[in-house]
Amino acid sequence: MAKDRARKRPNLLLTGTPGTGKTTTATALADATQLRHVSVGDLVRDKGLHDGWDDELECHVINEDLVCDELEDVMEQGGNIVDYHGCDFFPERWFDLVAVLQTDNSILYDRLSKRGYAGSKLSNNIECEIFQVLLEEAKESYPQDIVLALKSDTVADIDRNVASLTEWVRQWHPMS
């Protein structure tokens, strides 16, 4: 079925629990494809698209409406790799592919510990990964046929994911 899309290059969403490799993968993919890496976390911080700081969760309380308003024009142009640990508040029409990165619990535990996560912040994120929260969220928010789960345990996984996503971008066509 032909889709009504103005964009000439695709928009991808890279999502997953913190520490699964979204930013690493998005950076390499942007380099390989010349697509624009949109780090939503950085945007929220730099442009103040939040309603303050959550002391318990130790993160900004993202203002989803402000983020969507901020991104609408670039998303309409196409050619974006959006990097965020949430996916249910973006308009469905924005994305041509939603990749959910997944990491083995013990590997993720080590990565997040190294990043300085501890206590409930660490355990909440490990639980988020165990229960596949982001994969479920993606499946509920987007058509099943554009949601892809990708293993991200090793550097070889990153290389393989970047290679296959680069190929997908190369083959993508506005009417496909």
Q: Which residues bind ligand ADP (CB under 6 A)?
A: 16, 18-24, 111, 152-155, 157-158
Beta bridge partners of 80: 11, 36
Closest contact distance (angstroms) between CB of 11 and ligand ADP is 18
* Closer residue to ligand ADP, CB minimum distance, 112 or 147: 112
β-strands 36-39, 147-151 pairing:
unpaired
Closest contact distance (angstroms) between CB of 127 and Mn ion is 19
* Closer residue to ligand ADP, CB minimum distance, 29 or 147: 29
* Closer residue to ligand ADP, CB minimum distance, 11 or 20: 20
Measure the CA–CA gap between 108 and 152, rounded to whole angstroms: 10
Closest contact distance (angstroms) between CB of 22 and Mn ion is 5
Contacts with Mn ion, 13-32, as mask; x by CB under 5 A: ---------xx---------
Closest contact distance (angstroms) between CB of 8 and ligand ADP is 27
Which spans of this chain sit near Mn ion (rule: CB under 5 A)? 22-23
